Structure 1
Amino acid sequence: MNNDQISLTDAAAERVRDFMAREGGIGLRVDVRRTGCSGWAYDVGIARDAEASDHVFEARGLKVVVSDKALPMVMGTEVDFVHEGLVREFRFRNPNVTGECGCGESFTVG
């Protein structure tokens, strides 16, 4: 994987395609927001468009749109989608994370 990109696993790409088939959009938007005990949380959804300040990557034939604010915190991240029992969620393998809160809802970057 290129550490200057955002990548998707097959499962994540399939989930994004499912959402896009129902809701439209141009791809997956990855952003961050301040929250929780560690400071930041991922904010993902379907990208309706890309702003001039956004960074757009290609992953498994899909666009991944990242805000300028989030880019330094998520660069090199692999986005996965898991379905374990009742849990269905995107998970992130982010090389920039230096700590996470106990509940796993927020993270800190170095």
Structure 2
Amino acid sequence: MTVESFDPVQQAVSVTPTAVEHFKRQLVGHKEARAVRLSVKQSGCTGFMYVIDLVPEGQADDLHYALAEGVELLVDKDSLAVVSGTQIDFVTEGVNRQLKFLNPNARDYCGCGESFNVN
């Protein structure tokens, strides 16, 4: 019998191919940006809001994930407990295109969809 260990840092956030392509296009339009950084901040009526920034470099304790050539995802280590297990997708719904965060930790969402809460 073997024992498998789970490292939540190893695969904290996954990104769909359509989201990777979206990030590529965004980075091309911002010459000083080299990476996409994911964090959360307290906001809204339910607690947290996702923050996506295009940045020239990460902070010292960010987690680094190479998504594709020229696309790096940085995850704020302080946000890890809230975003661990999240899948980022880029979807088209009618004429709207947007990033969607499929977060297994999210329990409540505000009515406008801006903020969420975790247990």
Asked whether the two chains share a fold, i.e. TM above 0.5, the reply is yes
TM-score (norm 2): 0.81
1:74 aligns with 2:80: no
CA RMSD of aligned residues (A): 1.8
Q: Which residue of structure 2 lines up, in the alignment, with residue 34 of structure 1?
A: 42
Tell me the distance in 1 between the aligned counterparts of 2:16 and 2:30: 21
TM-score (norm 1): 0.87
Q: Which residue of structure 1 lines up, in the alignment, with residue 92 of structure 2?
A: 83
Q: Which residue of structure 2 lines up, in the alignment, with residue 95 of structure 1?
A: 104
CA contact (8 A) 2:35 2:54 kept: yes
Question: What 5-or-longer segments of structure 1 have no aligned partner?
Answer: none
Bigger Rg over Cα: 2
Tell me the distance in 1 between the aligned counterparts of 2:24 and 2:102: 20
Question: What 5-or-longer segments of structure 2 have no aligned partner?
Answer: 1-6
Identity %: 32
Alignment length, in residue pairs?
Answer: 109
Aligned residue type for 1:14: E
Deviations 1:21-42 (A, max 9, x none): 1213222211111111111010
- Of 1, 4, 15, 2:22 maps to 15
